[in-house]
Structure 1
């Protein structure tokens, strides 16, 4: 009996010693993470207005940028807000699936496209903010991908609003041009953002922001028009539709998000105080996520309660064609982003070669002075 107890005590002491070494073993197992640096230690491209520290050093291994999701830096909250938002969207979808309301038919197809569009813009945003600090080429590559996700989300929202949330009177006015216009504006939004990123260098002029905001703003005005009409009709008739409340919330959250996207506040008033937490782009992410949650809930309620309206306004062929056009928009946006990325790569290559050419020219001129031709 005594020997058995002693054996267990010795085993327990060994286990305790192993557990005490566990933190050190874990620390040795993970690569050493470089410390964040100040704005003067990164190229001009990576610097944000009024953000003075918390930048990740460039030209590290890819593994570092993936693992930096657990590090404290000025992009960490941007990554986590949209990563958690993507998980929340998946949980919302799981709850919808458990209600057994989804089906595999023309009626459900635009709803699936809308969910896909939400996840695409969130995941592409996560990748952009997590990996863009690797290099200048990576910066442009992942942000161009992010802009493709934005155009997908715009058109996916347009599909959902058009098929599930449009009142008959507004449908009669817009049915000939709404989806083609939404597709064109979605492509223009991606093209404008990519071109502005390619064309203008820091410090950015006002024209860059206009290239981004004007196409996106036009796309939003068209995409949200069925919802605004629906809200106005509901307020005039005194309806008690629960979906309308969520539609109102999605508009409010989007307008707040748009403000923080367009204006560098509050960091403009507190330079250097919002480097890690609290700068405007983080707030933009949070309110855009709330907008998406509200929009998804509103769209699901319309999907669940307005099936008869769908079949009065649309036929299955229209749903299939419109849903396929989503992938056509993705293709066009991807081609445009890839074209501008190639031009950006050529510009970066020339930028790297220019110093060597200058040195070569100086050496040639020096040689010509020392050994003039007879």
Structure 2
């Protein structure tokens, strides 16, 4: 009896011994998955990645690409910057689908500017998400993705201008000097916006001087003031009670101005250093108001499109519609070339820096 028990105990111990050689569940989890506490403080990342008054919540640099992709589902100081624009995309598409279904929307020359507005909106949202999600990988990635972000901003500016010109503008404004030069001016200022932001990013180092903001804000402000001019003219000359799009246009301007305020000034984190590391940064609020601005633009442009779609061809002619829209991919190409040229310059600088450090 005792010998049977001893034999069974020996068999059991042998089985346990074999089990001990099996991999543990934790060993099956890929090492590239983010850990439960992956963030580091500002002092643990290079100066390039530090934001003023944000003291913690940074992701370490030089991790595998999969780490940054999966950081989408973690808390860090870029989380809300990613999600505010990531969620705006599907919401924008749903609203588009709802309006298109209600209006019996068809893709033709009349609807092409409206379609390009949607493409431009999704472009800037996508590049913004990519920039904030992957920029922490390395200095090279940081510059590349933010240069692409600037391309998205320029494309969005021109997409808005197309919608405002063909669906919102009044005849008196179109006959003015601004109206006559509007489309080529909008394309030029869109490119200038991209060029100014790329130059500022490549030229100045942290802590950024005020000149950097000037290089960014002057061309983007000029592009915005020109692009919004037909809307402002209409708001000041047309009765709001007769035009359902007017409140949405007013809301898009208010949202954009608030977004510009939070983009330009590091508030509220300036007054509460370390307390807005994960939630409440000015850039997060900027993203939120910019997303709202895009939503209000979509609502307003669909209202204007519904009102004018039967007269657009008569007013502008099919030739002008197509030429204006052909300039859209041309602008994208010019902005991409500007970003790639600037990136090539930055790559040489980074290589020289690495050689000096060796």
State the TM-score, normalized to the length of structure 1: 0.86
2:65 pairs, out of 62, 68, 72, with 62
CA distance in 2, matches of 1:254, 1:243: 17
Q: Deviations over 1:100-130 (max 9, x none)?
A: 5321221011111110000000011000000
Is 2:291 aligned against 1:285?
no
SS of the equivalent of 1:242 reads: coil
Residue 33 of structure 1 aligns with which residue? 34
Is 2:304 aligned against 1:302?
yes
CA distance in 1, matches of 2:174, 2:26: 60
8 Å Cα contact 1:165/1:227 also seen in 2: yes
Is 2:266 aligned against 1:264?
yes
Residue 308 of structure 1 deviates from its aligned partner by 3.9
CA distance in 2, matches of 1:47, 1:335: 28
8 Å Cα contact 2:82/2:129 also seen in 1: yes
CA distance in 1, matches of 2:324, 2:27: 52
Residue 99 of structure 1 deviates from its aligned partner by 2.0
Residue 134 of structure 2 aligns with which residue? 131
CA distance in 2, matches of 1:26, 1:263: 44
**Map of 1:137-176 to 2, 5 A cutoff?**
137-173=140-176, 174-176=178-180
2:124 pairs, out of 121, 127, 137, with 121
CA distance in 2, matches of 1:126, 1:114: 18
**Map of 1:195-210 to 2, 5 A cutoff?**
195-210=199-214
Residue 29 of structure 1 deviates from its aligned partner by 3.8
Residue 194 of structure 2 aligns with which residue? 190
Of the structure 1 ranges 29-38 and 136-145, higher mean CA displacement relative to structure 2 is found in 29-38
Of the structure 1 ranges 193-202 and 91-100, higher mean CA displacement relative to structure 2 is found in 91-100
8 Å Cα contact 1:263/1:280 also seen in 2: yes
Q: Deviations over 1:183-242 (max 9, x none)?
A: 0000000000000000000000000000000000000000000000000012xx464311
Q: Deviations over 1:334-370 (max 9, x none)?
A: 00110000000000000000123xxxxxxxxxxxxxx
SS of the equivalent of 2:67 reads: helix
CA distance in 1, matches of 2:326, 2:302: 21
CA distance in 2, matches of 1:179, 1:61: 44
CA distance in 1, matches of 2:311, 2:326: 22
CA distance in 2, matches of 1:123, 1:30: 27
Structure 1 residue ranges without an equivalent (≥5): 1-23, 357-374
CA distance in 2, matches of 1:290, 1:30: 38
1:99–1:41 CA distance, 2 compared to 1 (3 A): same
8 Å Cα contact 2:240/2:246 also seen in 1: no
Aligned residue pair count: 331
- Which 4+ stretches in 1 moved above 4 angstroms? 24-28
8 Å Cα contact 1:101/1:304 also seen in 2: no
**Map of 1:203-352 to 2, 5 A cutoff?**
203-234=207-238, 237=239, 239-352=241-354
Residue 11 of structure 1 aligns with which residue? none
CA distance in 2, matches of 1:67, 1:253: 31
Of the structure 1 ranges 78-87 and 301-310, higher mean CA displacement relative to structure 2 is found in 301-310
Residue 306 of structure 1 deviates from its aligned partner by 1.4
Is 2:121 aligned against 1:101?
no
Residue 370 of structure 1 aligns with which residue? none
CA distance in 1, matches of 2:180, 2:100: 33
Residue 93 of structure 1 deviates from its aligned partner by 1.5
Of the structure 1 ranges 104-113 and 25-34, higher mean CA displacement relative to structure 2 is found in 25-34
